[in-house]
Amino acid sequence: MELVVQFQVLNQSCQCLAWKPRPVVAWGAESQHVVAGYSDGTIRVFSISRTEMELKMHPHAVALTAVAYSTDGEMILSGGKDGLVAISSPRTGMTIRVLADHKGSPITVLQCTRKQYHDFGVEGGELWLATSSDRRVSVWASDWLKDKCELLDWLSFPAPAGPEGLGSLPPSLAAFCPWEPGSLVYVGFGMQKEALFYSLRKKQVVEKISLPYFATSLSLSPAARFMAVGFGERLLRLLCCPASDAQDYAGHDDAVHLCRFAPSGRRLLTASHSAVLVWELTG
């Protein structure tokens, strides 16, 4: 539990970051690169092992709000406050594509998953999703080496007029479901406080899980049927899916704005205003 390495960028705030995926050939080796998005529209790639910045790109004119690596680590997907999504190559430093489908609403989530084209009858080696704060989710199939990117599905979730007294609306969050291929989970401000399971094959919501409040963070375990949901009411809920069991945990000093399962699924990291908690899942 000690600080190993630290990178500082003066006069800019880091808004989002992502680890480069481990190469398939070197299974078990730790990833040595992190990409970070900043308030001036730049993204920087840092080498952990060499403790230096390797690359700086400027694909956005506004602050970044989300960043992710493609599943093979060969591309960086970044989303801005203006809703534009850029795809850039860390090898060349060039931005190869800009998508304006979410223009006008900040990107809240970018996530990639390894899928083959024959799963959905479209070309591409992976699926990825983009979520924006206006409760819209787009799902894409892509093959970046062939410069192919095809819209697979477009989701818009309804919501009532913004309630009185609520300073800001809860975030729109989506994630591919690790244990249900071809499905994703969505939480956000809506008609009901719930998590929605959407099937890309059936093109419909197939399950709804009621929540006590609107969610502020979401993570799905890659190793078991567990879903972690954080709330603004300083509460963390762990759900066993299908929703047969739910356990609530207190201990945060503020809204639980981040939850992340470890790749092993054995630990869960959650963060609030001034606290980072690490939970161990037993049994």
Secondary structure in 3-state letters for 68-102 = EECCCCCCEEEEECCCCEEEECCCCCCEEEEECCC
**Rounded to whole angstroms, how far apart are CA atoms 152 and 129?**
10
The angle subtended at Cα 120 by Cα 70 and Cα 223, nearest 5°, is: 55
Cβ distance 130 to 138 under 8 Å? yes
pTM, full prediction: 0.92
Looking at residue 1, what is its pLDDT? 76
Looking at residue 259, what is its pLDDT? 96
Looking at residue 241, what is its pLDDT? 87
**Exposure b/e, 84-115, CB count within 10 A at least 16 = b:** bbbbbbbeeeebeeebeebeebbbbbbbbbeb
Cβ distance 176 to 200 under 8 Å? no
Q: What is the DSSP letter of 146?
A: G
User: Token pair for residue 21?
Assistant: 């995926």
Cβ distance 22 to 32 under 8 Å? no
**pLDDT one digit per residue (tens) for the chain, 283 residues:** 788 899 999 999 999 999 999 765 544 555 689 999 999 999 999 999 889 999 999 999 999 999 999 999 999 999 999 999 999 999 999 999 999 999 999 999 999 998 766 677 776 789 999 999 999 999 999 988 888 899 999 999 998 876 655 558 899 999 999 998 889 999 999 999 999 999 999 999 999 999 999 999 999 999 999 999 999 999 999 999 877 789 999 989 899 999 999 989 999 999 999 899 999 998 6
CA 181 to chain centre: 17
* Residue whose C-alpha is closest to residue 40's, from 64, 65, 56, 16: 64
